[in-house]
A and B are shown apart, each in its own frame.
Chain A
Amino acid sequence: MSFSLNEVEATAKKATRGAGYHWGLAEEAGKAVRWLCAHGVDGCGALAEALGKFDGASLSNITPATNSSEWYATGRTLCPLMTGTALSDRVDAIQNSPIRASRVAAPNLLLFFAANMAAHCKSVVTLEWPGGFAVTNGSDLCINGRPAGSFASVVRVLCGGTLGAPVSTSTRAEPAATVWKTLNTFAHRTYAPATEESRLKGAGAGTTDRD
């Protein structure tokens, strides 16, 4: 089914919150998935992969330690949302010092944050993983070699690179039905179970209108 990017962003945001991330991260996940879909990358699939993998994990275990240019998780694998936001937040430092992040799940999600960095530095940012790489200037994206897939043993992020032929952009998203269902299952966790009281009081409207 074809979805608007607004629907994709809203669903991704709710799903991320439902998976236990804080609202600020959920907002970024929504924008990331939207940006990826707009650039023809399966952002919904990447997010479903990440949320499924880290469901129930403690955030501190999947957040990168950023003391040096070698980023890793204290748990086994880095979350792309925690890694992506940390990259975006440190763009000024990274301009002079590339980052090597080890064991990253759903690394495609990092592309949005790389684009944020590029837009901010008004230059290009390159993301490398075993067998492939992507370059973005913030609005355009080019991808080369093997797709990043659901896991990368290492991802290198550096300011600079050469932008090749950009991928074509899209104003719609067509996530796989199973992926969409997964996101909606996570999103569902943000909804409060209805009670009789909430039905009566919560929305505060009469049920019929007779004027």
Chain B
Amino acid sequence: MNPKKEIERRSPETVMRLKRLGSLHQCRLSFMRILTRRMAAEHWEFSCPVFDIDSNGVGRAVYTAKGPNRSYSLVAFAHDLPPEKRSDRVIAEAWDATFTLFDGIPSAEDLDRLERNVPLQEAGRLQESELSLSRANRSVRLWRHVVEALASGKQPDAEQIDAVGYLMRTTAVYGSGKFGAADRETIAARDEFDVPFQVEMLSVYLIRTFVRDLVQHIAKTLGGEATATLDPSLARRLGIGNSTGLGMAPFIINHPVLFNNWMIVREEAIARVRAVETATQAEVDLFRDIFERSAQSISVWKSEHPAQLQKLSELRADVEALKIYIAAQDLHGDYPWDRLCTWSLTELSEEGQELVSSLILEPYPNLVDDLARCMSDSNSEAFRIDGSMPVAEVRELLTTSFGWARDLDWDKTENCARAWYVSEEKLEPRMGERFEEPISDYEQPLAPARDAATAINVLEQWPAQSVIADFLLRHPEHRHTIRRAQMSRVAPYGEIRDNTISDHILPIDMLRAKLSFFGATHFDPRSDRWVRICMYAGAPYPDELNSENADHWVYPMVSS
């Protein structure tokens, strides 16, 4: 008998490249799917105790989600926004709708207080009873079409729904203590918030329900009794759009342990499934079904951005190659998923390889889903620098993550062309041209590779056995770099193995990496530094959610 095959996780050198991170796809471990699975498994109950919106679409509504131990309420305010004020920029000052997720069930006084603050967004104040703050704008085109169709007693056109994908798009969903809201630390011990970003994912899930109800309400004020009720199958195709700008890109650099946990958990899941020696008929059938549905989703993925168009055309070719492989190959024996992954390395683009890596997880909830509990960061000890570590060891840690960066000529303009900074005007992160704008003095620490290369050079002048505490006393400018180096002991996937200030950096790669873990699909970059996505398209609404439909909704049903 053959000995069982050892399958190791893919190495950080392979995985933590920007091009690959910018090719990630959602999977079983995505935060939206984890939430919908949990809510279905625990039989969460949903209600709408307040829906007080006038015929102009102005007013307030409350949607309450009741879990086994606690309730959470989305408090929504609908506004009458003049078209010229509708902007997706994070710096906008007015929106079609504004939201907060309230911890519990708000009283009338709470709602009055929130009405004075939530519509102001960043200019308002929240309290510890609030968990998130967000806002959304309508897709003017689709909103009008859906309202007019329903009001005239007809269903909206499915093609138009699919062309846009959402009736509203959020332009920010803040959590974790922003603008006075509760810190993550105060709720992290709750089971339902153990996995990262569950507050934000719950907020958006309830926002989607509110938006469906709001469009129906507005249609009815126009169409009266003759108004059609939006067909549930059409409603389900609607997601919530999201515009994500540059501000989110620094997150994955600023949270190396957290990001490591997401990446290492996915890599562990992939390795576990690749180590499956034989697949049952049911597992193979499920994989084939999900693959077909995924191919359908990819076929309607639209973008006008040249880089994404190129990637999409490669991905579509990958899907065709996969169809041939899957039809021809026996997927039952001889480590079928490992064979598929190995084949993908030479035959598919990185988009295709990452699609395969995500899809093979689908038949194996028993191998994969428990890993979700390892995705948050509760390791506060990792922050403390171990000053007793010898210089030689620190150098080795830095070289492991950034050896490649030493060989780069950091004096060359193209290797340090960009600088990340925060603008005085709106306090939002930006990326500028170091040699064309006066921004160097304001640079944020978002170039770990350059900083590591510099630190390695200085450390080489120090005796190998002296302790790093002495080095840091003389060189406090390297403190953040030494901390990251030591963090890499517990976070081997915490560092991006690429230059984040080069003249060809694409911040959208960082955005996609993060958003793929949210579970986003249909990434549509609108420039090199912001991206539109769709969330929850295909998901069951609260009144439809059950254990049958809580998981695979992200893959559209293929009509036979």
Chain A residues with CB under 8 Å of chain B are 1-7, 21-25, 27-28, 31, 59, 63, 66, 82, 85-86, 88-93, 116, 119-120, 171-172, 188, 190-195, 197-199, 201-211
Contacts and interface: CB of A to CB of B under 8 A. Distances in A.
Contact of B479 (A6, A22, A202, A205): A22
Nearest to A202: B430
Contacts of B265: none
Nearest to B430: A202
B245 A190 contact: no
Interface stretch (B44-52, B219-227, B377-385, B456-464): B377-385
Given A6-B176, A89-B385, A205-B530, A195 B437 contact: yes
Contact of A24 (B84, B388, B479): B479
A188 B479 contact: no
27 contacts: A1-B125, A2-B128, A4-B182, A5-B183, A6-B178, A6-B184, A25-B476, A25-B479, A31-B383, A59-B476, A82-B476, A89-B469, A89-B472, A89-B473, A90-B469, A92-B387, A120-B384, A192-B441, A193-B438, A202-B246, A202-B423, A202-B430, A202-B431, A203-B246, A204-B527, A209-B137, A210-B141
Given A6-B177, A191-B442, A202-B423, A85 B128 contact: no
B383 A172 contact: no
Interface stretch (B63-71, B86-94, B197-205, B210-218): B86-94
B528 interface: yes
A4 B423 contact: no
Interface string B119-140: 0000001011000000001011
Interface stretch (B350-358, B402-410, B480-488): B480-488
In order of increasing CB-CB distance, the 4 nearest A-B pairs are: A24-B479, A6-B177, A89-B387, A202-B430
A135 to B, nearest CB: 19
A211 B164 contact: yes
Contacts of A210: 86, 140-141
B421 interface: yes
A3 to B, nearest CB: 7
Contact of A88 (B176, B385, B424): B385
B430 A198 contact: yes
B231 interface: no
Nearest to A119: B381
A85 B89 CA distance: 39
B422 A192 contact: yes
Contact of B140 (A1, A63, A205, A211): A211
Contacts of B421: 191-192, 202
- Most chain-A CB neighbours within 10 Å: which of B142, B246, B425, B476? B476
B185 A63 contact: no
B384 A116 contact: yes
A25 B169 CA distance: 39
A66 B387 CA distance: 13
B436 A203 contact: no
A2 B181 CA distance: 10
Nearest to B165: A211
B86 A209 contact: yes
Given A192-B438, A202-B432, A209-B137, A2 B180 contact: yes
A171 B184 CA distance: 11
A24 B481 contact: yes
Given A6-B183, A204-B529, 5 more contacts: A24-B480, A24-B481, A27-B479, A89-B468, A208-B84
B477 interface: yes
B245 A192 contact: no
Contacts of A198: 423, 430, 432, 437, 439
Nearest to A204: B529
A22 B473 CA distance: 12
Contact of B469 (A28, A86, A209): A86
Contacts of B178: 4, 6-7
B189 interface: no
B445 A23 contact: yes
B433 interface: yes
B478 interface: yes
A66 B471 CA distance: 12
A209 B87 contact: yes
B428 interface: yes
B300 interface: no
A203 B473 contact: no
A6 B185 CA distance: 9
A24 B428 CA distance: 21
B366 interface: no
B127 A2 contact: yes
A153 to B, nearest CB: 23
Given A24-B479, A192-B442, A198-B437, A207 B87 contact: yes
A117 to B, nearest CB: 9
Given A4-B180, A4-B181, A205 B445 contact: no
Contact of B480 (A27, A90, A116, A209): A27
A27 B487 CA distance: 14
B243 interface: yes
A7 B469 CA distance: 30
A87 to B, nearest CB: 9
